[in-house]
Amino acid sequence: MNRPLRKVVFPVAGLGTRFLPATKVVAKEMLPILDKPLIQYAVDEAVDAGADTLIFVTNRYKHAIADYFDTAYELETKLERSGKKELLALVQNVIPKHVRCVFVTQAEALGLGHAVLCAKPVIGDEPFGVVLPDDLIWNKGVGALRQMAEFAASENAGAIAVEEVPRSETNKYGIVDATPTSDRAALIKHVVEKPKPEVAPSNLAIVGRYVLPGRIFELLESTKPGAGGEIQLTDAIAALLAEQKVYAYRFDGTRFDCGSKLGLVKATLHFALQDPTLAAATREFITAV
Ligand code: G1P
């Protein structure tokens, strides 16, 4: 595991039913926070962590994500001809030149574990990252995935992002039972997907960032459907714990649950308040309503 992180998986095959009717035609990962779609924030974080191969696990309806990272020939030609250099740079720099995108289809929606397993042929046996774009993590310094990748490499172990949630919400998350080893890290003893509050081992919830060894693929292959009848990544991680160390990692940053309307609103306001051209007017609006 103490190799640098080169490959990151983005499971983006979900239907985004919480944002219907918008998601009839717009992939939920393309919903914007200000002027960037959620997937752009996720990709930026992965590239910052050192990734040069981005694997999008998608479905046959989600052309927009591939289009977004592809060359927009007509648009670029028009902007170039009209001398709009800054806009041209924005369009061309959605991804650095050395980074490649690979698109893998998840034919059936069988769960997050199944989605990650679809990336096996591209990853093979090396440590890799998983980023769930719904979980948008903001911070001023080093991105959450890079914090985790550096920690995982130094410990020669896996790492999963966690944060505390209200006990009443444990049934929305993977929940870990872990022994603290430092301010940020705790060695995971057990992990369970979406337990009811009364049986949850803690209120420390998994956030959508993982650094995992290639071994997880073999474990996923024998993982039976779990919570919600889906093949759960959490269950394969539970099996991994018998073989390797996996840490729960309290990242430095603020998470927004952009899989929910309220989370999307909060993220939009937060990012507007960070933007010098929008901050004052946004603050004025918030205090007036
Ligand atoms: C997935 C994982 C869950 C994790 C969550 C974080 O659940 O299965 O363990 O806590 O992401 O966002 P989902 O939100 O896809 O139901």
Q: Which pLDDT tens digits describe the chain residue by residue (289 residues)?
A: 556 799 999 999 988 889 999 998 889 999 999 999 999 999 999 999 999 999 999 987 788 899 999 888 899 999 999 999 999 998 888 999 999 999 999 988 899 999 999 999 999 899 999 999 999 999 999 999 999 999 999 999 999 999 999 999 999 999 999 999 999 999 999 999 999 999 999 999 999 999 999 999 999 999 999 999 999 999 999 999 999 999 999 999 999 999 999 999 999 999 999 999 999 999 999 999 8
The count of C-alpha atoms lying within 13 angstroms of the C-alpha of 128, restricted to the half-sphere facing its C-beta, is 24
Any domain includes 259: yes
The H or E element containing residue 74 is helix 73-81
Is the link from the previous residue into 21 a cis peptide, with omega within 30 of 0? yes
pLDDT of residue 3: 65
- What residue owns the CA closest to ligand 1's atom 15? 112
CA atoms of 196 and 229, how far apart (whole Å): 16
Any domain includes 2: no
- What residue owns the CA closest to ligand 1's atom 7? 173
The domain in which residue 277 lies consists of 7-288
CA atoms of 184 and 176, how far apart (whole Å): 14
From 135, 176, 206, 230, mutation site for ligand 1 pocket: most ligand atoms within 8 A of C-beta: 206
Spacing, Cα 192 to ligand 1 middle (Å): 11
pLDDT of residue 246: 98
pLDDT of residue 16: 84
CATH code of the domain containing 253: 3.90.550.10
pLDDT of residue 289: 85
Closest CA to 139 of 104, 158, 115, 163: 163
Any domain includes 139: yes
pLDDT of residue 61: 77
**What angle do helix axes 38-48 and 144-155 make, rounded to 10 degrees?**
30
* CB 206, CB 161: distance < 8 Å: yes
- What residue owns the CA closest to ligand 1's atom 5? 173
- What residue owns the CA closest to ligand 1's atom 10? 173
Any domain includes 1: no
Domain count of the fold of the chain: 1
- What residue owns the CA closest to ligand 1's atom 13? 173
* CB 160, CB 186: distance < 8 Å: no
Q: How far from chain centre, in Å, is Cα 249? A: 15
From 132, 204, 220, 230, mutation site for ligand 1 pocket: most ligand atoms within 8 A of C-beta: 132
Could you tell me if the CB of 174 is within 6 A of ligand 1?
A: yes
Spacing, Cα 236 to ligand 1 middle (Å): 14
Could you tell me if the CB of 257 is within 6 A of ligand 1?
A: no
The H or E element containing residue 235 is helix 233-240
pLDDT of residue 109: 87
* CB 182, CB 203: distance < 8 Å: no
User: Among the atoms of ligand 1, which is closest to the Cα of residue 174?
Assistant: 9
pLDDT of residue 70: 87
DSSP tag of 198 = T
The H or E element containing residue 162 is strand 158-164
Spacing, Cα 207 to ligand 1 middle (Å): 7
pLDDT of residue 2: 56
From 15, 19, 162, 173, mutation site for ligand 1 pocket: most ligand atoms within 8 A of C-beta: 173
Could you tell me if the CB of 47 is within 6 A of ligand 1?
A: no
Rounded to a whole number, what is the distance in angstroms from the first to the last CA of the chain? 50
